[in-house]
Structure 1
Amino acid sequence: MLLEGVPASSGIQIGTALLFHREDFDVPTYTIDESEIEKEIKKFESALIQTRKELEEIQSKIQKEMSSIHAGIFSAHILLLEDPMFVDEVKKEITISKLNSAAAVKNVVQNIIDQFSTMDNEYLRGREADIRDVVSRLIQNILGKEKIDLSSLKKEVIVISHDLSPSDTALMNKDKVIGFATDVGSKTSHTAIMARALEIPAVVGLGKITSYVKTGDLVIIDGNRGRVLINPDGEVYEEYLIEQSKFQEFEQSLSMLKDMPAVTLDGTHIELACNIEVPEELSSIQKYGAKGIGLYRTEYIFIRKRTELPSEEEQYESYKEAVEKVAPEAVIIRTLDLGGDKFASSLGIPADVGSMMGLRAIRLCLQYPFIFMPQLRAILRASAYGNAKIMFPMISRVEELRLAKVMLDQAKSELEYEGLPFDPNIEIGTMIEVPSAVVTADILAKECDFFSIGTNDLIQYTLAVHRVNEEIAHLYEPLNPAILRLIKQVIDIAHENGIWVGICGEMASDPLVVPLLIGMGVDELSMSPIAVPEVKKIIRSLTVEEAQKITQVAMSFSTANEIESYVYSEAMERFPDVLMWIDHRLH
């Protein structure tokens, strides 16, 4: 049987399945007497202490075995347990609703999860599983239930589960788990993140794989193409043994490109940079042979502080670490790109549930200087230690960019008065993510030093398609003629005005799109560190003249399907070894 899902972590693995069911349990719900309220609150508080202790032990284990960034996942879990709003809401539910403590926790957390499920950001929606994990542990401690885990594995297995929580992956015997496959999940889910960190194949979002697999079945995980084969016949098994060997050889060949420049066959250099969220990811830049950071997402610093804003000093230390470690290469720091609803509970900002079209990113920052100014000051202070650049997200009109620059100048004046060092000539970039920014790119170009095209949002806003909506996901087309024309228009205008332009969305690492971007004249591509070797190989496999011809022909077609078929055929002639490990979308 063949099942297809989301390829979450590359690689091919063949092994024995272990069907892992986390224990499902019903949370008893009943009313309590007035005299029992204090007892239930104490039971809740005791479970909080126990759960925190368990999470700290798991965090310590992860810190030693993997890295601080993955251990940091559990910092967020602990913060939930310490969140005064969460604790107070549970106590209020126990006191006012007279509910038993386990049921009170369940009700309060469901409200939090409902908020996460409406968020537009796929990464933030993926944190719903993290919340469920920590709350499940908390409720089990309230109820005194025994927990099960994957720590006692004796032989190599491929874990098949409905989902894997952070605790599941943290406690498993990592020498024995050689692959994951789950019913649910996305590329940004915790299971996918951990699989990539462990560098083992994973396929998520398979629907009902747990209904088809039993422990002991022979399973093949194809993390390149998002496929899982259950009990394959002998012929298919032998084919995949060969495939596995070929892929290992391919990965080895990519590793040899690490220290080679990203230069086309006719000598044109394309800057390859990385998208990162926290300084702990910096080691990946060097590991995969990238040059600098094309997108430093600053949201994590704010998200992890659930009840208060991060201080200027905290932000400064994070940005400074990145700038110092990457110097002399550039670090492009994007200012906060979150919606007002993320701050509503703790800061008294009116919630704006329609954050994609509402109070988010630069709009939020301009409206609330007490959020924006400390970040601008922190970025400027970090710029004294290397090559930092600043980038403003979701610019939809030139007035926003001009006002952001005024506030940046104000921050500069403050630092100068205080005698704090900074780069007075720090470059300013504008993210091009909405159609209005494309149409007025000639105006915006005169106000900044570079453009960075955020293709993920640009596609969604232009085509009116939310890519996580399963019913219309097929309409999310990176190769739609409208999208390619918009990107080409922005690149041309940027160059006409003497500024450079980069791409920091997923299109920057798509093997079928990279030749088109080169043909359009893009100067920089920024992506996940692990994607750098493949893109570097593509760049080194063709000339700019060839890329321009491919782009010219591709843009003469009327549909995304026609463009994709053509580009696929051209790419197969130049770098077939890259394409053989991905699914052709039309297949």
Structure 2
Amino acid sequence: MRLVLTGTGASRGMALGRARLEHPSRYLVDERPLEESEVDAEAERLYRAIAIARDELQALREKLHGALAREVAEFIDAHSLMLADRELTSGLFELIRVGRYRASAALKMQRDRLVAVFEAMDDPYLRSRKEDIDHVIGRVQAGLARESSVEERKLAARVGEILVSDTVAPSELVPLAEHGVLGVVLSSGSQVSHSAILARSLHLPMIVAAHQALSHIQDDDLVLIDGERGEIVVHPAAQDLARFRAWQRELAQKGKRLALLRDADTRTLDGTPISLYANAESPADVAQARTLGAAGVGLYRTEFLFLQRKEIPSEDEQFLAYRDLVLGMGGLPVTIRTLDLGADKADASGLVMDDEENPALGVRGVRLTLRHPQILAVQLRAILRASGYGPVRILVPMVSTVEEMTSVRRLLKECARDLRSAGHEIAEHIELGAMIEVPAAAIALGGMIKSLDFVAIGTNDLIQYTLAVDRNNDHLANLYDPLHPAVLKLLAQTIATAQRAKRRVTLCGEMAGDRRYTALLLALGLTDFSMHPGLLLEVRETVNALHREPLRAQATALLRAPTRARIERVVENLKKAVG
């Protein structure tokens, strides 16, 4: 019998396949108390299971390649650090040796204790990290049971199947896609979680918060999912299959259309040139950006050089990475963001404070690097040396005051002077800009703009800070709203302030690559977008079908709209600007 379930669409696209269920908490817990003679052997079993889990993560990390390698590695590194955390492991061995619990029971008790601690935290970001506990404990349980790895169990979902699960870690998504899994349905999660963002980059249809999925879908049920509508059809009828076939035909036609745009200009129908840049963090990203006709790299993340290592990367190591980036773009401009580590990132160098109560609002970005000016100086010197090979700009993250930019600029000038004295060829002038992601920076930009050569807007953090919503918390997902009136006013104000001061302004967040917001951003005056390379052609197609001037005429109505519903109506009217 046909059954329709609903969730939240997290990654667009449709998929038709047999369901493969992965139930949570599937491991048996042996609650029999240990005899004294069994304690050492049981502790050894747990030690081996943890070692297996660590080895699995390391092997998975070594297999990473392509444009998403850095993004996935970040989560693998976070889980590796958790396995090395004495707070987790020492408590487990104490439960075995003192409490006489078997390893499976000790894991369950430690999991429940840590999850309770996370759930009691005031900070929504930290509450959401309880999912990491589940992923790590599940991996150790798999090793303990001498079963297949977490990836292998999830990869029981074979080519042509739909994975139905409670959660999925970002580190699991790439192998899922590579093995031909067509889509993912999760009973929890949010559309702005890291897994959802990664699914969109992979073009893997995903539905989250489908709370009835695990109880109403059986293994091998034929399932049709629609990642845009958030709809799951179990045992689809003829009309459902017809809709799917029509979508497939449309997708094939779209692919042919987009292929023709690789070498096309990005220009509105009334002649306004629009610049589409790529966000990048690996050589594969850079190659894809060049292939798809990016105007340059609008955001190059440098954290991958610092993650999961005990020493800070040297100036030469960083220089080689930045030089290769500049050369890879063949003379097109690149914007390199200085280090943006915080306690929410996996860092083994000791640079990051790991005991912050609220890492999202803590010592990260420029707040961290100004505490360690010698580390910032090394990075600035490396970037300056790379500037001798092509056009480079430097972007500073998490800026909230003029004084922060003044300090960075002073250090930049000192580094440039020293390099020239040492005989290095560097650019005569290198632009220095700020990432506007803190509401205070957006509001005070008028007084800060003279200290900036350019501006970049980071909408992902700007939205969550403006609305006090953690984008990884599925309980708050409905409140994370790019169309909130306050968000649009901050965006419009930032764009207008930068343009009045004749400073270039680029938007680098998720909104830039989502064609649903393209007309809106053009209406607000934006002309520079930076996005995942895989989204460049879609946005180019959208821009090339719009008239900009009619959109700009709607900006006042857009900003006066008091509610999201009114804003949505204005956005619908913007579609009339299509040629």
Q: Same fold (TM over 0.5)?
A: yes
TM-score tier after normalising by the smaller chain length = 0.7 to 0.9
Alpha-carbon distance in 1 for matches of 2:373, 2:117: 25
Given the alignment, which residue of 533, 536, 556 partners 1:552?
Answer: 556
Q: Is the 8 A contact 2:83 2:89 kept in 1?
A: no
Given the alignment, which residue of 201, 211, 214 partners 2:215?
Answer: 211
Letter in 2 for 1:405: R
Sequence identity percentage? 33
State the Cα deviation string for residues 490-519 of structure 1 (Å, max 9, x = none): 333322322211112233234343223323
Where do 5+ consecutive residues of structure 2 fail to align? Answer: none
Distance 1:198 1:358, change over 3 A: closer
Please say if 1:444 is aligned against 2:448. Answer: yes
Given the alignment, which residue of 229, 238, 241 partners 1:234?
Answer: 238
Cross-structure match for 2:5: 3
Query: Per the alignment, in what secondary structure is the counterpart of residue 446 of structure 1?
Result: helix
Shift of 1:114: 8.1
Given the alignment, which residue of 496, 520, 528 partners 1:516?
Answer: 520
Distance 1:416 1:88, change over 3 A: farther
Cross-structure match for 1:94: 93
Which of 1 and 2 has higher RCO (CA within 8 Å, sep 6+)?
A: 2
Given the alignment, which residue of 347, 359, 362 partners 2:363?
Answer: 359
- 5 Å-filtered alignment, 1:344-423, equals 346-347=350-351, 349=353, 351-423=355-427
Distance 1:410 1:40, change over 3 A: farther
Cross-structure match for 1:140: 142
Please say if 1:322 is aligned against 2:321. Answer: no
Alpha-carbon distance in 1 for matches of 2:500, 2:80: 54
Alpha-carbon distance in 1 for matches of 2:495, 2:194: 35
Distance 1:310 1:456, change over 3 A: same
Given the alignment, which residue of 19, 23, 26 partners 1:24?
Answer: 26
Distance 1:161 1:488, change over 3 A: closer
Cross-structure match for 1:296: 300
Q: Structure 2 length normalisation: TM-score?
A: 0.83
State the Cα deviation string for residues 310-338 of structure 1 (Å, max 9, x = none): 44444333333322212312221122233
Where do 5+ consecutive residues of structure 1 fail to align? Answer: 576-587
Q: Is the 8 A contact 1:337 1:360 kept in 2?
A: yes
Alpha-carbon distance in 2 for matches of 1:468, 1:175: 26
Deviates more, 1:3-12 or 1:49-58: 49-58
RMSD: 4.0
State the Cα deviation string for residues 397-419 of structure 1 (Å, max 9, x = none): 21111011112223323433444
Alpha-carbon distance in 2 for matches of 1:180, 1:110: 26
Q: Is the 8 A contact 2:20 2:164 kept in 1?
A: yes
Letter in 2 for 1:9: S
Q: Is the 8 A contact 2:335 2:392 kept in 1?
A: yes
Cross-structure match for 1:486: 490
Distance 1:340 1:169, change over 3 A: closer
State the Cα deviation string for residues 446-500 of structure 1 (Å, max 9, x = none): 1121111223333334444444555654444433444333333333332232221
Cross-structure match for 1:583: none
Distance 1:406 1:222, change over 3 A: same
Distance 1:31 1:336, change over 3 A: farther
Shift of 1:389: 1.0
Q: Is the 8 A contact 1:542 1:574 kept in 2?
A: yes
Query: Per the alignment, in what secondary structure is the counterpart of residue 403 of structure 1?
Result: helix
Alpha-carbon distance in 2 for matches of 1:139, 1:27: 10
Shift of 1:429: 0.8
Alpha-carbon distance in 1 for matches of 2:54, 2:464: 40
Alpha-carbon distance in 2 for matches of 1:166, 1:517: 29
Letter in 2 for 1:144: R
Shift of 1:161: 2.2
Letter in 1 for 2:545: S
What is the total number of aligned residue pairs between the two structures? 570
Shift of 1:144: 3.5
Q: Is the 8 A contact 1:515 1:551 kept in 2?
A: no
Q: Is the 8 A contact 1:297 1:333 kept in 2?
A: yes
Deviates more, 1:34-43 or 1:242-251: 34-43
Letter in 2 for 1:366: L
